Structure 1
Amino acid sequence: MPVTAESVPLPQRPAPSGRTASPAGKAMLKLGLVRDIDLALHLPLRYEDETRITPIARTREGDHVQVEGVVQRAQVELQPRRQLVVRLHDGSGELTLRFIHFYAAQQKILAPGARVRVRGEVRGGFFGREMVHPVFRPVEPGTPLATSLTPVYPASAQLPQAYLRKAVVSALGRAPLNELLPPQVLPASLPTLRQALDFLHHPPPDVSMATLEDHSHPAWQRLKFEELLAQQLSQLQAQRERAKLRAPALPAREGGLRQQLLGQLPFGLTNAQERVVAEIAADLALSQPMHRLLQGDVGSGKTVVAALAAAVAMDAGWQCALMAPTEILAEQHFRKLVQWLEPLGVGIAWLTGSRKGKARQQMVERVASGEAQLIVGTHAVIQQDVHFARLGLAIVDEQHRFGVAQRLELRKKLAHEALEPHLLMMSATPIPRTLAMTYYADLDVSTIDELPPGRSPIVTKVFADGRREEVIARIADEVANGRQAYWVLPLIEESETLDLRNATEAHAELQAALPGVKVGLLHGRMPAAEKAAVMAEFSAGHMGLLVATTVIEVGVDVPNASLMVIEHAERFGLSQLHQLRGRVGRGAVASVCVLLYTGPLSQTGKSRLRAMAETTDGFEIARRDLEIRGPGEFMGARQSGDALLRFADLLQDTALLERARRVAPKLLDSYPEAAQAHVARWLGSKAEFLKA
C-alpha cells in the first residue's frame, strides 16, 4: 500500500560531504532540489481531486474519481492470472478493485469489513465497474477530506510522491519568498510570489482546471513574469560586464587587406553582406570586445563576411582563429580562405584532431610565433598546447553545436594580455525573434537576409518509401545530364530500436541499381584522410552520387549537385533537414530535394515534412522548428544540459517577455540589489551559462 503523507518524516537536507545520502535524498539532488527555493519552485505536473467523494452509482467509465466504501469480499483468484480481487460497496453500488501485483500487507488492509478510501480511473469490466491498481488507504467513518487539490509532482522511482509532497510543504514554510520586486515593476493584479506558490501547490477545489492546465491563471502569470525578468536581468548584466572588458581596437585601414580581398573576389557582395561587413568593422574598431552573432540562411555567403572580418584583424597586426564543429566544415572554410587570402600573403594554419605528430607540431609553432595569421580548425584550436602570439578575433561557426566551455576556452586565449578577443559567432539556423529577445538578448545580431544572385530555387518533394525506384531513376537521369546527387541516411549502423538500413547497405544497393554511375560513400567512422579524398573526388565532379550520413550537413559546397535525397526524413530535425537541403541549389541548375519517409508518421513528423514542402525560407523554418521542439531542444539548452525556461512559453508569453525587457534596465539601474537577489533566486549558478 502507498505510504500516506501523514506517515512520512520531514525530509532531511542533503548529506554533508563524505556522508551517504538516502536514495530519496540522492533523487532530490538529481532533480536539482537542493535549496528550499528549488522545492518551492518545483511545481505540480497535474492535480488529483481528493476533496470530494463520488457515489459509486454515479461514476462513469473513464472518470478519475475518489470513492469510499466497505470491503464486502476479498479473494485471490488464479484465472486468467494470479490477482487480488476486492468487492467494495458504498450503499449506492458495487465497485471491483483489481490488483495484479500485491503484497500481504495490502491484503490485510483490504480485509472484509474494512472501510477504505479509493482513488483511480473507472473502467468497464466483465462484472461491472472496476478500478485496476487504484490508490487506497484505510479510513474511519467521517475522516475529513482534503481541502485543496492534491499535487502530483515530477519525481522518480526513488522519490515517492508522499515524500516529495512533505518536502515541498516543509520547504514552502522555510523558503525566503519575500517580495524582492518594487510594485511598479509588476504587471497589475498579480498575486505575491508566496500567494502564487501556495496557490499552485495547493489549489482550492473550485478553481478552473483549464486555467491551471493552460497556465493562464494569475498565479502562473506571476511565476512566468518573474522567470522572464530574471533571465532578462542576467543577460543585461552579462552585456554590461562585457562592456567593461577590454579588447584590441582593430580599425579597418583604407586600401588595406580588406580592400585587396574585395578587389580579387570573383563576385560582388550583396547589399546584405555589405551591411553586415560594415556592422562588424564598426565593432572591431572599438576597444571593448565584439560579441556578435552573424546569422544567415543556408548559402547566404557568411564565409566571405568572416574572411573580410579576419582581414581587418590581420591588417591591424593581430591573429584570427576560425573554429568549426566538424572537420568537413572546417576544411571547406580552409579551402576557400586559402584560395582568397594566400595570394595576398596571409599565412594560414590548419589544426584538427586528425592532424598529429610533426605536422601538428609545426602548425602549433607557426601559431605561437605569429607566422600563421589565420588559424582554421575544429575544437583542436583551443587545446592547451595551442598558444597564440596575438589573437584579436575568434570566429565560431555553427556556434550552437559547441558547448559553453569550448566557447569560453577560445575567449581565454588572450587572457595573458588582460584582453579578450573579439568574438563573431555564425549560424545558418536563424534565430526566431522571441529567442533573440531572451537567450541571445546580450548579443548584437547581424542578419544576411538575401541570397547571392544566380542561386537556383529548390523544389522539395515528399515521397513515401514505396516510390524509391522512381527516385533512383531520377538520379540516373540527373547523372546522365552531367549533374550530381546526394543520398543521405540518418545512421551508420543497424540499431535494435531503429529499423534503419545502414549507409553501407544503401551504398551497395545504389551501386547495383545504377550501373555505370560512380557511387561514393562517406560516414563519420571513416579516417579523416579517406573522407577528404571522397569529398575531393565528388567536388571535382568525378563521382555521380555520394551516399553519406549527416557529416555533410554543413559546409559542403558543390554547385554541380542538383538532387538531394534524404532517406528516413521523418527521423531528422527540421533545422537539420533545411541544412541538408541547402547542399543543393548552389549553382544555376534547378535543384530538387526529395524527402523519403517510412510510415506511419507521428504528428511531429508530419509537421516537419509539411514545413519543408511549404517553405524554403530559413527564418520561417526556424519559427516552425521552435514551435515543434520548444526552445530548450532548439538550442540544445544552450549546451548547459538544463532547461533555461521552465515556466514561460516563448510562443504564448510574448507580452510578458516584452514587459520584462522594458523593466529590466530600470530595475538594474534603480534597484541593483533587488535585481541581483532576483537573479540569484531564480537562476543560481545557471546564470553563467547565459553569459557564454
Structure 2
Amino acid sequence: MGGINSNTDLGVGLPLARFLEIILNPPKTYTPYPILNNLEPGVVGCIEVAYLSMHTSKVLKIQTKTKATQQSLDLLCFNHTPYHLKIFTQKSYFVYGKLSTNPYTNALQMINPKIIDKPNTITMRFDKACKKLPAFLKQDQHKTYLDFCLATLTPQNLEKLVNLGVPLQVVQHINEIFHPSMDFALAYNAHKGFCPPHLQALKYIEALAYMCALSSKTFDFPAKFSQHANTQALAEFVSNLPFALTNDQQKAISAIQNDMQGFKATKRLVMGDVGCGKTMVILASVALCAPYKSLLMAPTSILAKQIYTEALKYLPKSIKPLLLLGGTTSKQKEAFNEADFIIGTTALLYAPLDTSKVALVISDEQHRFGTKQRHTLQTLATQAGNKPHYLQFSATPIPRTLAMMGAKFIATSFLKDKPYTKDIRTHIVDKPQFNALLTHIKAEIGADKQVAVIYPLVEESETMDYLSLKEGAPYWQKRFERVFVVSGKDKDKEDIMEGFAKEGQLLLATTLIEVGISLPKLSTIVIVGPERLGLATLHQLRGRVARLGGRGYCYLFTHQPTNRRLHDFSQTLDGFEIANLDLKYRHSGDLLQGTQQSGDAFNFLDLSQDTHIIEQVSTLFS
C-alpha cells in the first residue's frame, strides 16, 4: 500500500486528493419527504390529497380528503398569494408539512404546507463553499454542485477505495451519506448530525486525506554531496565533550549519519523536549558534514549568538563557525568563504553569499518561521536539482497522534532523555500565597540564583484582571536590586537579556524568553495570568529554569486557582504529554504547516480521542 499519495489515480477522472476532498464536504442538510401511513398529530411528511373546496380570507383554507385513508385534512396558508390559489386547486397532489389538530374543531390540519412533486425522496443541500472546490471549478459537464457530486461519488467509484485498503464498512457508510436512505435522513435530523458510524467513516477519510497530503510532500532528490559523513570529526567532537550524550542524542546523530552516507538528500525533523540538548545534535551534524559547509537559521539573534558560543566551545578546532546577523560586507563575504559553519537569522536568506559548498542546511525552532522562509532556506543551496541535507529542529513537542501520522513520511528523531536531572516544582498560587512567594524569591536571589516574572501584557488593559509589565515593574524595582525589564517592543531587548544573564537578579518580561534563551542561573519563574497561555507556551517558559539540572520552581500566579487545565499541567514535566493535554483542551490549530503543532484543520477527527482510527489508516502507508 506504500504507493498511496495525493495523486493516486482511482480511475474516477480525479486524483485521490480531489476525490477525498469532495467526500469531506458532505451535505449540510437532508430534507426527507416520506409518505405518511399513520396520520397522527406531530408527524412530518407527505400525504396525497384530493381537492374539495377553498375558503379565502386572511387565512387561506383548503379542504381536502386524503386519498389513502379518506380522512378530511384542512390546509391552512398564512400570507397567501395568487400562486397559492392556483396550485392548491389542482385535482390532486402531495402536500408536505407537519400534522396538527385544530384546537377549536379537533379537525386534522397542516399549516403552511408545501406541494411536493416527488414524494419519498430526499433533498440534500451543500455548503455554498463547495462551489469553489477546485475539482468542481475545473469541470464544465455539470452546472450544479449537487449533480457534479453525485456523478463523481457514485457507489461504483466509492467502491474503488476498497482497492486502496479502505475497509468496506467505511465505504458503505460514506456511500449512505451521499446516497441516503429515508431511515438515514430521518436519523440524521433526529440526531442533529451524523450518527456515530457515519462520523467514524468521515474521520477515517479525513485521516487518509491528511496522510496522503503528507506523502505527496516527500520527494526523493539526489544529495548535493552524497555518501559523505565525516566520522572522524564526529568522534573528535564527542570525545572532547565534558559530558556524555544521552541515548536519544546518540540515536538521532546515528540516524543523521546514515542519512548523509546515502545518495538522497535527507529531510529530517528532530523533535526535542525542552532541555533535551538539541544543540549538541546540531553540532554533531555540522561535524559530520565537514569539510563542507553547514548553514543554520535561528529565529532570533539571541539564539543565533547562543549557538555560535556553543559551537566555539565544543566543535573541533578545524571547524570554523561564523555568526552572520546583519547586512553583508565584503569582509563578511570573505569570512563566509573561510567558515565551515555559518549561523544567522533570516538575514541569511537575503545575503548574496556563495552557497556552492553548503552541504547541510538547518533551521532551529523551525516552527517560528513562515512557510515561504522555510522553502527559501531549503532551496538556498540547491544546485541543478541536487539538494543539501535539510534538518529541522524544534523544542516544541507535537501530539503523539500527529507524530504517528507524520513519521510515516518525514524522517523524524525524538529527543526525550534529558542530559541533566531536573527537579522542577510547579505551584499554582493566588493573592493569599503572594507573601510566601515573595519570601521564596528573596531566598533564591540571596543564594545567588536568578528569578523571572512573566507578565501577560506590556501595557495596562481594562479587560484584564492582572497588572501589566509597566504597572508591575515599580513594585519589584523598589524591593530588589539589579532588576531588568524587557519586552518584545524594546529595540535593545537582546542587550538587556545579555545584561541580565551576566549580572541580573530579577527579570521582568513578557513571553519573550519562551524559546531558546539559556539562563543557567535562573531557578524560578513566575508566570502571571497563565490561564491565558497555551500549555506548550507554559512548558517552554518553565523549561527556562534549572537548565543545568538541580531544583527549579515554576509559580503560576492565577485568579483561577482551581483551573483544571493548570492543575493537569502542574502534574507533568513531559513535553509530549503536555502537547497531548494542550490538544485535549485547545482542540488544535495549524496543520500541514511547520511541525504540525495542532489543528482545527480537522473538521471530523479529534486527535485526542481518535488514535485507533489514525493507527488503522497508518497501516495503508506501511
Using the size of structure 2 for normalisation, the TM-score is 0.75
* Paired position in structure 1 for 2:226: 248
**Alpha carbons of structure 1 residues 417 and 559: separation in structure 2 relative to 1, 3 Å:** same
* Paired position in structure 2 for 1:5: none
Kindly state the Cα deviation for residue 428 of structure 1 after the two structures are TM-superposed: 1.7
**Alpha carbons of structure 1 residues 171 and 307: separation in structure 2 relative to 1, 3 Å:** same
> Aligned pair 1:186/2:166, yes or no?
yes
Kindly state the Cα deviation for residue 228 of structure 1 after the two structures are TM-superposed: 2.8
The 2-side partners of 1:418 and 1:172 are apart by 40
Matching residue's letter, 2:26:
L
Which structure 2 residues correspond to residues 215-614 of structure 1 after superposition, within 5 A? 216-217=196-197, 219-239=198-218, 241-242=219-220, 247-254=225-232, 256=233, 258-314=234-290, 317-341=291-315, 344-352=317-325, 355-356=326-327, 358=329, 362-367=331-336, 370-383=337-350, 385-453=352-420, 455-465=421-431, 467-494=433-460, 501-512=467-478, 515-527=479-491, 530-540=492-502, 542-599=503-560, 606-614=563-571
Contact 1:48 1:152 survives alignment (8 Å): no
| Aligned counterpart in structure 2 of residue 42 of structure 1, from 11, 21, 25 | 25
The 1-side partners of 2:555 and 2:498 are apart by 24
**Alpha carbons of structure 1 residues 640 and 225: separation in structure 2 relative to 1, 3 Å:** same
Q: Which one has a bigger Cα radius of gyration?
A: 2
Kindly state the Cα deviation for residue 43 of structure 1 after the two structures are TM-superposed: 3.0
Contact 1:478 1:484 survives alignment (8 Å): yes
> Percentage identity across aligned positions?
29
Contact 1:50 1:145 survives alignment (8 Å): yes
**Alpha carbons of structure 1 residues 197 and 511: separation in structure 2 relative to 1, 3 Å:** same
The 2-side partners of 1:212 and 1:554 are apart by 44
Contact 2:58 2:79 survives alignment (8 Å): no
**Alpha carbons of structure 1 residues 244 and 365: separation in structure 2 relative to 1, 3 Å:** closer
Kindly state the Cα deviation for residue 373 of structure 1 after the two structures are TM-superposed: 1.3
Kindly state the Cα deviation for residue 141 of structure 1 after the two structures are TM-superposed: 8.3
The 2-side partners of 1:520 and 1:201 are apart by 69
* Paired position in structure 2 for 1:23: none
| Aligned counterpart in structure 2 of residue 172 of structure 1, from 149, 159, 169 | 149
The 2-side partners of 1:510 and 1:145 are apart by 76
Kindly state the Cα deviation for residue 600 of structure 1 after the two structures are TM-superposed: 9.1
- Describe the SS at the equivalent of 1:649: coil
Contact 1:387 1:413 survives alignment (8 Å): no
- Describe the SS at the equivalent of 1:457: strand
The 1-side partners of 2:506 and 2:40 are apart by 68
Matching residue's letter, 2:269:
L
Matching residue's letter, 1:413:
L
Q: Deviations over 1:190-235 (max 9, x none)?
A: 4458724415799744426687747632x44444333433433444
Kindly state the Cα deviation for residue 544 of structure 1 after the two structures are TM-superposed: 0.9
The 2-side partners of 1:502 and 1:619 are apart by 31
Kindly state the Cα deviation for residue 323 of structure 1 after the two structures are TM-superposed: 1.6
The 1-side partners of 2:517 and 2:397 are apart by 19
* Paired position in structure 1 for 2:104: none
Contact 1:232 1:438 survives alignment (8 Å): yes
Contact 1:404 1:638 survives alignment (8 Å): no
The 1-side partners of 2:447 and 2:387 are apart by 52
- Describe the SS at the equivalent of 1:249: coil
Matching residue's letter, 2:335:
R
The 1-side partners of 2:22 and 2:248 are apart by 49
- Describe the SS at the equivalent of 1:344: coil
The 2-side partners of 1:211 and 1:248 are apart by 58
**Alpha carbons of structure 1 residues 203 and 344: separation in structure 2 relative to 1, 3 Å:** farther
**Alpha carbons of structure 1 residues 558 and 190: separation in structure 2 relative to 1, 3 Å:** closer
Q: Deviations over 1:529-571 (max 9, x none)?
A: x22222222222x211111111211112222211110111011
The 2-side partners of 1:140 and 1:618 are apart by 59
**Alpha carbons of structure 1 residues 271 and 141: separation in structure 2 relative to 1, 3 Å:** closer
- Describe the SS at the equivalent of 2:245: coil
**Alpha carbons of structure 1 residues 58 and 212: separation in structure 2 relative to 1, 3 Å:** closer
- Describe the SS at the equivalent of 2:485: strand
The 2-side partners of 1:270 and 1:640 are apart by 25
Contact 1:249 1:285 survives alignment (8 Å): yes
What is the count of residue pairs matched by the alignment?
554
Q: Deviations over 1:306-333 (max 9, x none)?
A: 111111112xx21111122223322222
Using the size of structure 1 for normalisation, the TM-score is 0.68
**Alpha carbons of structure 1 residues 456 and 278: separation in structure 2 relative to 1, 3 Å:** same
**Alpha carbons of structure 1 residues 637 and 346: separation in structure 2 relative to 1, 3 Å:** closer
- Describe the SS at the equivalent of 1:181: helix
- Describe the SS at the equivalent of 1:414: coil
Matching residue's letter, 2:306:
Q
Stretches of structure 1 lacking an aligned partner (at least 5 in a row): 1-34, 60-64, 75-90, 92-105, 120-136, 157-165, 666-692
Matching residue's letter, 1:409:
T
Kindly state the Cα deviation for residue 581 of structure 1 after the two structures are TM-superposed: 0.3
Contact 2:31 2:124 survives alignment (8 Å): yes
**Alpha carbons of structure 1 residues 71 and 229: separation in structure 2 relative to 1, 3 Å:** farther
The 2-side partners of 1:647 and 1:413 are apart by 38
The 1-side partners of 2:517 and 2:117 are apart by 71
The 2-side partners of 1:154 and 1:202 are apart by 24
Contact 1:461 1:593 survives alignment (8 Å): yes
Kindly state the Cα deviation for residue 496 of structure 1 after the two structures are TM-superposed: 6.5
The 2-side partners of 1:394 and 1:408 are apart by 11
**Alpha carbons of structure 1 residues 147 and 192: separation in structure 2 relative to 1, 3 Å:** same
**Alpha carbons of structure 1 residues 357 and 272: separation in structure 2 relative to 1, 3 Å:** closer
The 2-side partners of 1:202 and 1:326 are apart by 60
Matching residue's letter, 1:330:
A
Q: Deviations over 1:61-110 (max 9, x none)?
A: xxxx99xxx99999xxxxxxxxxxxxxxxx9xxxxxxxxxxxxxx9888x
Contact 2:319 2:341 survives alignment (8 Å): yes
The 2-side partners of 1:138 and 1:365 are apart by 84
Contact 1:40 1:171 survives alignment (8 Å): no
- Describe the SS at the equivalent of 1:590: strand
Matching residue's letter, 2:25:
H
**Alpha carbons of structure 1 residues 600 and 202: separation in structure 2 relative to 1, 3 Å:** farther
The 2-side partners of 1:348 and 1:336 are apart by 10
Matching residue's letter, 2:498:
A
Contact 2:426 2:570 survives alignment (8 Å): yes
> Aligned pair 1:617/2:574, yes or no?
yes
